[in-house]
A and B are shown apart, each in its own frame.
Chain A
Amino acid sequence: MSESNAPAISNPVEYIQHHLGNMTHNGERPASLVDFSVFFVDTFVMSLILALAFAFAAWKVGKNLDPDKPTGMQNILETVVEFVNQQVKDIFPTADKWVGPLAITIFVWVALMNTMDIIPVDLIPSLVSGVAGVFGYDPAHVYWKAVPTTNLDTTFALALLVFGLIIFYNIKHKGLFGYMKVFATHPFSASNPIVKVLLFPINVVMTAIEEVAKPVSLGLRLFGNMFAGELLFLLIALLAFSYWAMPGQVVLGVLWSIFHILVILLQAFIFMLLTIVYLGLASQGTDEH
């Protein structure tokens, strides 16, 4: 095999593993699935940059709101705010001043983090590796996972806050006793007091599962979709193993990128919508049960 025919990616397994590795604060890999001694610098920095970008745009627009002639970024953010507000109005039973900001933050921030998936898979990691190389690190051992939502930490951070708010809203609108009553009498209810008591443990378990399933499904859905999307981009990138396969990489890459735009916005939208729905359910009074 001559030099010109050398594969662009010599070791596919190593390539994918490298791409799926995170930069940690001490260079150690997490020992187990849950390991709080490790901090992923790449995920945190990427999401922080995007959060700051959104915050900056919001501050810039919010500072000089032009009520008569909205232009540029104000138009975009006004549209997003109106869209999210409409969803909240349609779903949420009562007026609440925090649901709107929560929903728009989820929608925009998640959409921005997901959008990192559209950037060519090697671009950001290579840039970071290059910069690290300048500072004397070995580029082969610099890991950088660019899409924060392909990380369970990010999706579960969002889901956990939503979970906490679900409990808070339940107690706020139903009262602590009312919330406990939901656990005791939901989903199976009976008029006979003896049957009621018999159903009590089943109801508690069922409702607890139902409640816990909400954040878990929220976090895993977003993570799964984005992780799968990222993995597919990596697999498409692997087609660069030979020159004759490169047209396939271009065609598939374009197709998957276009399709992924849909996934990116859809997942952000679903996360936002389910958050509103869950909090809306939590805000209903006890009369419905």
Chain B
Amino acid sequence: MNVTATLIGQLIVFSILIWFIKAVLWEPVINTLEDRKKRIADGLAASEKGMKDQELAAENAKHAIKEAKQAAAEIIAQAKARDTQMIEEAKNKAVEEADRVIAGAQAEIDQEVNRAKDSLRTQVSALAVAGASKILGKEVDANAHKAALKELIEQI
């Protein structure tokens, strides 16, 4: 229970110990702790960001799928419409073609009829002249009776 020269020795030991501890323990450990704190915070922030990104990506994917579905439906609808249109067009074309064919045939028939009539007319006039000659016993001049013949022919 005395104060002695040991006091000075203890003061020296204490001072050196403080300096030593500061250099080898305090500063490195504080730095490590700060560094670790920062890294943990960074890691947490990164994981949060990753989670958000993932959420965003999921949202985007959903959106894209929805859009694709919509586009597909549209394309299908369009195709269906085109399909109907094509069938309609084909039908119309077919009808037109048929009409044209029929019209052509009709025209040909009419032509044939006219040709037959024409030949018939010529033959009728010749026949009429021949018949009259026979009946009258003399030559009939076709030109002289042109008007009568023409009337006859017209009747056909």
Report which A residues bind B (CB closer than 8 A).
Answer: 20, 24, 30, 32-40, 43-44, 47-48, 51, 54-55, 58-59, 61-63, 65, 67, 77-78, 81-82, 85, 97-98, 100-102, 104-105, 109, 148, 151-154, 156-158, 160-161, 227
Contact A104 B26 (CB under 8 A): yes
Q: For A109, what are the chain B residues with a Cβ–Cβ distance below 8 Å?
A: 14, 17
Q: For B14, what are the chain A residues with a Cβ–Cβ distance below 8 Å?
A: 51, 105, 109, 157-158, 161
User: Does B36 reach chain A (CB closer than 8 Å)?
Assistant: yes
Residue of B nearest to A162 (CB): B14
Q: Using A78-B33, A101-B19, A157-B11 as known contacts, list a sample of 8 further A-B pairs with CB atoms less than 8 Å apart, ordered by residue number in A.
A: A33-B2, A61-B25, A62-B25, A65-B29, A100-B22, A101-B21, A102-B18, A154-B6
Q: For B7, what are the chain A residues with a Cβ–Cβ distance below 8 Å?
A: 153, 156-157, 160
User: Can you list 17 A-B contacts (CB < 8 A)?
Assistant: A32-B2, A34-B2, A38-B6, A55-B24, A61-B25, A62-B24, A63-B24, A65-B29, A81-B29, A85-B33, A97-B22, A98-B22, A100-B26, A104-B26, A153-B7, A157-B11, A160-B11
Contact A153 B21 (CB under 8 A): no
Known pairs A44-B9, A157-B11; A105 contacts B18 (CB<8 A): yes
Contact B17 A51 (CB under 8 A): yes
Closest CB in chain A relative to B39 CB, distance in Å: 8
Residue of B nearest to A78 (CB): B29
Name the interface size band of chain B.
20 to 34
Closest CB in chain A relative to B76 CB, distance in Å: 57
Closest CB in chain A relative to B34 CB, distance in Å: 10
User: Does B155 reach chain A (CB closer than 8 Å)?
Assistant: no
Q: How far is the CA of A97 from the CA of B27 in the complex (A)?
A: 9
Contact A152 B25 (CB under 8 A): no
Known pairs A30-B2, A37-B5; A157 contacts B24 (CB<8 A): no
Contact A30 B4 (CB under 8 A): yes
Contact B2 A35 (CB under 8 A): yes
User: Does B136 reach chain A (CB closer than 8 Å)?
Assistant: no
User: Does B131 reach chain A (CB closer than 8 Å)?
Assistant: no
Q: From the candidates A20, A35, A62, A78, name the one contacting B4 in the complex (CB within 8 A).
A: A35
User: Does B143 reach chain A (CB closer than 8 Å)?
Assistant: no
Known pairs A35-B4, A44-B6, A67-B35; A161 contacts B11 (CB<8 A): yes
Report which B residues bind A (CB closer than 8 A).
Answer: 1-11, 13-15, 17-22, 24-30, 32-33, 35-36, 39
Q: For A62, what are the chain B residues with a Cβ–Cβ distance below 8 Å?
A: 24-25, 28-29
Contact A77 B25 (CB under 8 A): yes
Known pairs A36-B4, A39-B4, A77-B25; A47 contacts B30 (CB<8 A): no
Contact A153 B24 (CB under 8 A): no
Q: For B3, what are the chain A residues with a Cβ–Cβ distance below 8 Å?
A: 33-36, 152-153, 156
Contact B5 A101 (CB under 8 A): no
Contact A38 B33 (CB under 8 A): no
Known pairs A81-B33, A157-B14; A101 contacts B2 (CB<8 A): no
Contact A65 B2 (CB under 8 A): no
Going nearest first, the 3 A-B pairs with the smallest beta carbon separation are A157-B10, A101-B22, A58-B25
Q: How far is the CA of A44 from the CA of B10 in the complex (A)?
A: 7
Q: For A33, what are the chain B residues with a Cβ–Cβ distance below 8 Å?
A: 1-3
Contact A59 B24 (CB under 8 A): yes
Residue of A nearest to B22 (CB): A101
Q: From the candidates A43, A48, A85, A161, name the one contacting B30 in the complex (CB within 8 A).
A: A85
Known pairs A67-B32, A77-B29, A161-B15; A105 contacts B21 (CB<8 A): yes
Residue of A nearest to B28 (CB): A62
